[in-house]
């Protein structure tokens, strides 16, 4: 330690080390104390401080020659009684606060040894205050008082220490340096066993504390501006200012320094001050006063004036005043070094400024605030809430005192409900770490015990879903004045549109909008919005596959909320509940959306997603919000009976992928599991039949249901890495979505079923369960297998057999894409796949090299020969 105190003799170092060691031992013993133990000590300390308040005040005034015994007595009583009133019921040991709804508990941890510097201006009251805080928080303290206030502080420490130990506090809990030098302080500030420096004092000691590298509490200098605004209660304001500024001869650093008075009330205010015992200086007296009490070289107050009575200062300066003059008031015309009295004055001299307007008054207050008082205290007297608010916005002060005295107001607990203190945090403006009134919580390390919480989950589906053959007849039950049917020309040609029109109630005005059979672009959407607006539609019927239904969803959004910015709404998000961009809730129009699906794959009729093609930038934009979910879904197999074979396969595999991915998603829940599992079962059973025998009504019906059920699952549990890979690959090589999914599927199952390189953070799942979920699916399909690994293997095998049976290409190579082209594309494929939000709910967090590997496996293809190369499940059953 001697490197921090090159000028300290060895015996002095031993002495200081001894003090710290003693405090460290006391602090260690203190850790065993309960809240009740601590509170049993604090109360008698407070009573002892109260009993000795006048004695200690007298000692302080005698030693420091500053202030007023009566006022220092009051300060000592505030430091004990008022502080006790605040801390008595506060929990500072063990569990101090609990937030049951958030699963968080706060537990107090003492700091240990606090090095406490105390000032000359409020010496004994600060000691009393800090002793009570230390005991309440189970800390030991070493006091280093201002050299000119040592004896009174040592006596205050003694009073507190003897009372504390008598009531059970550990011996050695307080010590006071017998005498000290800057070297002593520097040594202690750097001592490894000092946990916190609490520096209440001048700028030098505060700066030294913060420069030590130790955690420190330090107050900054003050220069309190006061705005006396024309709406204020003037008589009250004048009394309050005199009370505050003369309290202990103005030694509290929060006391008023410059009063900025509105022009309209200026004369009346000064007259009132004079009537109550203030001396209003002439311009010559003011100039003389400024030159004398403020050091012209430094701009700081002269020590000889600090804490002295007004009459004494006037006599010293040579200003004749009446006996018992309380306060010297001098007008200033500006703020800064050329106006010395605008500086901090810890004595009963007050500067006043006449302001022509509120703006000017606020600017001058800001000038005072910035001239040495940033972060400390400011005062306003006003009944105009707008002005008070403006003042609090522009003034940088930890305490903004309204319609009450600055000094006593800032202490807290007397004129307001602020925390009682003798240490004013001044924030970064004052070079401090806090703007708080320093209190017991600053003497604690607060530990937060955070229990695992489970995020709220949801299960949201359209209000009504009608299914089975001729479910479209239910359109009859939806009254509408004006309905717009959105569909594509092919569906009109095959007669589906006529079927739909047949069941719309006869009183409904029906219009039809034919749009291209492709992912909608903004122009198509706006065409629909114009039609809806023009027809004042109250109902939209989307008849089609995913593209048509998606288009109708976006049309509805823009029709109901024209201000919706699609580009902004497509912004990426990680968690739906915490997304930055919110979908509009204010609607200028209302239209019911009924979605009638004509393919068995996307399930768009029940999902909250819509894809918009951004042709200008050559990309797709996905919108996702539950407000996009159709109000009514009609899952009528008559509209898919004529689906071509290729489309049946591609959409069917898309449906299977939705179900498999929702089943193992980290957002999966029992609600989504039931849907996902059932959809898997239906696809395995009915998709081959629907492909082989398109006229099989049951197979078509069940596949249509499967698509809807799988979509319900992934609407609430989302999808996974398979979709991320398929989106990237499909877009790059222009491969239909379902086929792209199929090429990835067996590889992704194997990948997800193996021990992840990186786990996905998932508070909703208590363990890694993807492999077990796949095994459950295998069981549901009756695939056999004894262990989880076997079952997963059987699921992969069956999936491959299904794909083979459906005639899906076995590999990317089979699509005619050359190895070179594919390898060249892999960096871009990986980049896009990683950017795709789909994998965010995947059970395994994909690394980029793993995505590349999955792409390569898909290129090489599936099948028994290939599968042997796959990464098999290694997890314990």
Q: Which residues here bind another protein, judged by CB under 8 A?
A: 24-29, 31-32, 112, 170-172, 193
- Closest Cα to residue 391, out of 416, 361, 353, 368? 361
Minimum separation from the CB atom of position 29 to another protein (A): 5
Q: Where would I find the H helices in 247-351?
A: 263-275, 283-293, 310-317
A 10 A CB-CB count for 125 gives: 31
Minimum separation from the CB atom of position 234 to another protein (A): 57
Q: What angle do CA 201, 203, 208 make, to 5 degrees?
A: 90
Is the alpha carbon torsion for 268, 271, 273, 276 positive or negative?
negative
Q: Which is nearer to another protein, 193 or 295 (CB)?
A: 193
Minimum separation from the CB atom of position 443 to another protein (A): 16
Q: Which is nearer to another protein, 172 or 398 (CB)?
A: 172
Distance separating alpha carbons of residues 776 and 789, to the nearest angstrom: 11
Minimum separation from the CB atom of position 30 to another protein (A): 9
Token code pair at residue 758: 């990186």
Q: Which is nearer to another protein, 24 or 146 (CB)?
A: 24
Minimum separation from the CB atom of position 24 to another protein (A): 6
Distance separating alpha carbons of residues 568 and 519, to the nearest angstrom: 19
- Closest Cα to residue 484, out of 468, 469, 465, 497? 497
β-pairing, 592-597 with 539-544? Answer: parallel
Minimum separation from the CB atom of position 114 to another protein (A): 14
SS3 681: helix
Minimum separation from the CB atom of position 25 to another protein (A): 5
Q: Which is nearer to another protein, 172 or 375 (CB)?
A: 172
List C-alpha distances in Å: 573 to 570, 580, 763, 837, 845: 9, 7, 18, 8, 16
Q: Which is nearer to another protein, 32 or 734 (CB)?
A: 32
Q: 188 burial class (0-12, 13-18, 19+ CB within 10 angstroms)? A: buried
Please report, to the nearest 10 degrees, the dihedral formed by the alpha carbons of residues 755, 756, 762, 766 taken in order: 10
Minimum separation from the CB atom of position 173 to another protein (A): 8
Q: Which is nearer to another protein, 112 or 406 (CB)?
A: 112
Q: Which is nearer to another protein, 81 or 193 (CB)?
A: 193
Contact call for residues 793 and 754 (beta carbons, < 8 A): no
Q: Which is nearer to another protein, 18 or 763 (CB)?
A: 18
Minimum separation from the CB atom of position 168 to another protein (A): 9
In the 8-state DSSP scheme, what is residue 99?
E
Quickly tell me which residue has 């109250």 as its tokens. 538
Contact call for residues 863 and 776 (beta carbons, < 8 A): no
Q: What angle do CA 798, 803, 809 make, to 5 degrees?
A: 140
Which run of H or of E encompasses 225?
A: strand 224-228
Total length of the chain: 877
Distance separating alpha carbons of residues 528 and 534, to the nearest angstrom: 10
Out of 131, 153, 176, 253, pick the active-site residue.
Answer: 253
> Does residue 253 carry a catalytic annotation?
yes
- Closest Cα to residue 603, out of 621, 629, 578, 573? 629
Beta bridge partners of 541: 485, 594
Q: Which is nearer to another protein, 171 or 263 (CB)?
A: 171
Minimum separation from the CB atom of position 193 to another protein (A): 7
Distance separating alpha carbons of residues 755 and 872, to the nearest angstrom: 9
Distance separating alpha carbons of residues 597 and 583, to the nearest angstrom: 25
Q: Which is nearer to another protein, 170 or 520 (CB)?
A: 170
Reported in sequence order, the residue ranges of 534-646 that DSSP labels E, i.e. its strands, are 539-544, 592-597, 609-614, 619-624, 632-635
Contact call for residues 693 and 792 (beta carbons, < 8 A): no
Q: Where would I find the H helices in 463-537?
A: 489-493, 496-502, 522-535
Q: Which is nearer to another protein, 170 or 218 (CB)?
A: 170
Minimum separation from the CB atom of position 321 to another protein (A): 56
Radius of gyration of the chain (CA): 39
In the 8-state DSSP scheme, what is residue 247?
G
Q: Which is nearer to another protein, 165 or 731 (CB)?
A: 165
Token code pair at residue 5: 């105190």
Q: Which is nearer to another protein, 172 or 601 (CB)?
A: 172
Is the alpha carbon torsion for 286, 292, 298, 301 positive or negative?
negative
Minimum separation from the CB atom of position 157 to another protein (A): 17
Q: 763 burial class (0-12, 13-18, 19+ CB within 10 angstroms)? A: exposed
Contact call for residues 176 and 147 (beta carbons, < 8 A): no
Minimum separation from the CB atom of position 15 to another protein (A): 17
Beta bridge partners of 610: 623
Positions marked active-site:
253
């Amino acid at each position: 330690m001697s490197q921090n105190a090159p000028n300290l003799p060895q015996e002095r170092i031993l002495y200081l080390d001894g003090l710290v060691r003693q405090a460290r031992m006391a602090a260690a013993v203190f850790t065993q104390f309960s809240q009740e133990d601590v509170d049993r000590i604090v109360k008698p300390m407070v009573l002892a401080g109260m009993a000795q308040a006048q004695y200690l005040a007298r000692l302080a005034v005698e030693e420091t020659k500053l202030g007023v015994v009566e006022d220092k007595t009051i300060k000592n009583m505030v430091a004990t009684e008022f502080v006790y009133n605040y801390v008595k019921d506060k929990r500072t040991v063990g569990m101090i606060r609990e937030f049951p709804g958030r699963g968080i508990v706060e537990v107090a941890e003492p700091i240990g040894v606090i090095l406490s510097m105390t000032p000359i201006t409020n010496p004994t009251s600060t000691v009393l205050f800090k002793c009570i805080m230390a005991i309440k928080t189970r800390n030991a303290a070493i006091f280093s008082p201002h050299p000119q206030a040592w004896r009174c502080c040592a006596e205050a420490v003694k009073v507190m220490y003897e009372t504390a130990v008598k009531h059970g506090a550990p011996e050695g809990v307080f010590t006071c340096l017998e005498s000290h030098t800057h070297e002593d302080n520097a040594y202690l500030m750097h001592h490894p066993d000092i946990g916190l420096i609490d520096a209440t004092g001048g700028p030098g000691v505060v700066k030294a504390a913060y420069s030590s590298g130790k955690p420190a509490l330090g107050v900054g200098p003050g220069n309190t501006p006061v705005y006396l605004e024309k709406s204020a209660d003037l008589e009250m304001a004048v009394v309050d200012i005199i009370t505050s500024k003369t309290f202990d001869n103005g030694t509290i650093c929060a006391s008023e320094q410059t009063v900025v008075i509105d022009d309209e009330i200026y004369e009346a205010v000064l007259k009132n001050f004079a009537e109550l015992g203030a001396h209003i200086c002439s311009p010559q007296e003011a100039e003389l006063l400024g030159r004398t009490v403020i050091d012209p070289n430094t701009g700081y107050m002269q020590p000889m004036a600090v804490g002295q009575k007004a009459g004494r200062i006037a006599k010293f300066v040579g200003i004749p005043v009446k006996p018992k003059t309380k306060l010297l008031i001098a007008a200033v015309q500006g703020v800064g070094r050329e106006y010395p009295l605008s500086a901090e004055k810890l004595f009963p001299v007050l500067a006043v400024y006449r302001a022509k307007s509120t703006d000017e008054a606020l600017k001058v207050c800001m000038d005072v605030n910035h001239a040495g008082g940033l972060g400390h205290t400011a005062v306003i007297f006003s009944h105009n809430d707008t002005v008070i608010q403006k003042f609090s916005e522009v003034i940088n002060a930890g305490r903004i005192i309204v319609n009450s005295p600055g000094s006593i107001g800032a202490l807290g607990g007397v004129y307001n409900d602020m925390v009682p203190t003798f240490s004013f945090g001044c924030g970064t403006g004052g070079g401090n770490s806090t703007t708080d009134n320093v209190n017991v919580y600053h003497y604690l390390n607060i530990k937060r015990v955070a229990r695992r919480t489970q995020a709220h989950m949801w299960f949201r589906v359209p209000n009504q879903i009608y299914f089975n053959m001729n479910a479209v007849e239910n359109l009859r039950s939806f009254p509408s004045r004006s309905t717009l049917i959105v569909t594509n020309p092919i569906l009109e040609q095959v007669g589906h549109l006529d079927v739909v029109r047949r069941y719309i109630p006869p009183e409904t005005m029906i219009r039809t909008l034919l749009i291209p059979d492709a992912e909608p672009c903004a122009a198509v959407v706006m065409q629909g919005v114009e039609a809806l607006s023009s027809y004042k539609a109250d109902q939209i019927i989307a008849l089609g596959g995913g593209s048509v239904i998606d288009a109708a969803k976006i049309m509805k959004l823009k029709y109901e909320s024209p201000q919706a910015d699609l580009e902004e709404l497509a912004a990426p998000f990680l968690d739906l509940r915490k997304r930055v961009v919110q979908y509009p809730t204010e609607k200028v129009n209302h239209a019911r959306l009924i979605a009638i699906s004509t393919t068995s794959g996307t399930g768009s009729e029940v999902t909250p997603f819509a894809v918009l093609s951004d042709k200008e930038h050559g990309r797709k934009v996905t919108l996702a919000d539950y407000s996009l979910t159709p109000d009514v879904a009609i899952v009528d197999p008559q509209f898919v009976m004529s689906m071509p074979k290729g489309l049946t396969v591609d959409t069917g595999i898309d449906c299977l992928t939705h179900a498999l991915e929702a089943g193992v998603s980290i957002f999966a829940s029992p609600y989504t599991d039931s849907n996902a599992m059932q959809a898997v079962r239906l696809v395995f059973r009915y998709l081959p039949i629907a492909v082989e025998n398109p006229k099989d009504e049951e197979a078509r019906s069940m596949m249509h249901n499967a698509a809807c059920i799988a979509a319900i699952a992934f609407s609430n549990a989302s999808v996974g890495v398979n979709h991320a890979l398929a989106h990237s690959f499909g877009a790059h090589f222009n491969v239909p979505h379902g086929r792209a999914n199929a090429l990835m599927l067996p590889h992704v199952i194997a990948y997800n079923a193996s021990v992840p390189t990186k786990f996905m953070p998932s508070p909703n799942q208590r363990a890694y369960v993807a492999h077990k979920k796949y095994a459950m699916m295998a069981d549901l399909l009756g695939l056999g297998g004894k262990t989880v690994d076997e079952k997963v293997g059987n699921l992969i095998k069956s999936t491959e057999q299904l794909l083979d049976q459906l005639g899906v290409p076995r590999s990317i190579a089979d699509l005619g894409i050359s190895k070179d082209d594919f390898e060249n594309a892999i960096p871009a494929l990986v980049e896009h796949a990683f950017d795709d939000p789909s994998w965010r709910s995947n059970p395994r967090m994909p690394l980029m090299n793993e995505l590349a590997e999955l792409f390569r496996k898909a290129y090489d293809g599936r099948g028994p020969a290939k599968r042997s190369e796959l990464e098999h499940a290694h997890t314990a059953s």
